[in-house]
Homo-oligomer: A and B are copies of this chain.
Amino acid sequence: MTNLPAHIQITEEGPREGFQIEPKAIASSDKIRLINALSQTGLSSIQVCSFVSPRLVPGWTDADDVVAKLDKREGILYTALWFNEKGLQRALAHKQTLTLTGTIHTVASEAFCQSNFNRSLELNRVAMVAQTQAHQAHNIEVNKISVMAAFGCNFAGVVPVEHALDAVRQGMSIADQCGARVQVIALADTMGWANPGSIERVVSGVRDQWPDIPIRLHLHDTRGLGIANAYAGLCCGVSRFDATVGGLGGCPFAARRVDTGVARGTSPPTRLAPGNIATEELVLLATELGINTGVDLDALIDCGKLAETIVGHSLPSAALLGGSLLSYRQ
């Protein structure tokens, strides 16, 4: 435990992740209600929406409306996600509210790149150069490399550390070519393959090569190892994490058909595996380890309960049921 950081920064991605995957329509007012509640918890960064095709992601048809109407609170970074020029244009319209930066997306598995983006890693490189330049043309700083499938892949199996490093190298090469300065390397366990050992190996490998660039972990709890993986990251000194309140979201790559008895009232007959790690479980872990998060855990748990009410079914987070330990200590 010697390398535990003194404090961590969490990016809350619940609204963006959660509301795009829910099968039923969520009212814009409910989305705003959750974002505003999250803004009161001490979280310093909240990803509030996706600017994506309403045809592909009907859950974010109202992205412009949500951003326009949320109560912006000073000191919080509100961010959004987009994948193309059209999305970028929509985001630019909200630059008074949103903090806009660009990301170079790379993939540690050729097979996943092909399956997810329908292009090879080499063509993804070409696309990312173009995307980086498009951002720069609008004076949007591109400062992050995000490696998808950094720990494993449903199509290629275990991803060797060297492939994850290759993906970071490709991102660095794109940044160099475009004159972008990389300030964070995000490692995403897109399909829930990581374990504490692979977290340690990949984080150590990246740090050996790029010792001065902070690492950010985007972890999924697909198979129940998410918080153990976060702990392994903390032990390596990682101090930046993505998470979703209540564990909002789900894994599009792992679902189970439910035949009998286990369907929840308002859920579809297919149950998705959990998606991102739950923010309140991460905050609870950090708090219990003496790591500062700046977040009011009880207020965050209340946000998770609000999220459950909004989506109309239970969410994966155990901390929503178990609660924090703060009240017992007082």
Contacts and interface: CB of A to CB of B under 8 A. Distances in A.
User: Copies of this chain, how many?
Assistant: 2
Interface stretch (A32-40, A137-145, A268-276): A268-276
Given A195-B288, A313-B261, A224 B273 contact: no
Interface string A1-29: 10000000000000000000000000000
A224 B228 CA distance: 10
Contact of A318 (B198, B221, B231, B265): B221
A319 interface: yes
A55 interface: no
A87 interface: no
A309 interface: yes
Contact of A230 (B228, B319, B321): B228
A227 B324 CA distance: 17
A319 B221 CA distance: 9
A197 to B, nearest CB: 5
Contact of A196 (B231, B261, B320, B324): B231
B261 A263 contact: no
Contacts of A224: 227, 278, 280-281, 284-285, 317-319, 322
B274 A314 contact: no
Interface in A277-330: 278, 280-281, 284-285, 288-290, 308-309, 312-314, 316-325, 328-329
Given A224-B281, A225-B227, A261 B157 contact: no
Interface in A137-171: 152, 154, 157-158
Interface stretch (A44-52, A73-81, A123-131, A252-260): A252-260
A295 to B, nearest CB: 15
Interface of A: 1, 152, 154, 157-158, 192-193, 195-198, 200, 221-228, 230-232, 251, 254-256, 260-266, 271-274, 278, 280-281, 284-285, 288-290, 308-309, 312-314, 316-325, 328-329
15 contacts: A152-B328, A154-B328, A192-B322, A195-B289, A222-B322, A223-B284, A224-B284, A224-B322, A225-B284, A254-B322, A254-B323, A262-B313, A264-B264, A273-B323, A316-B318
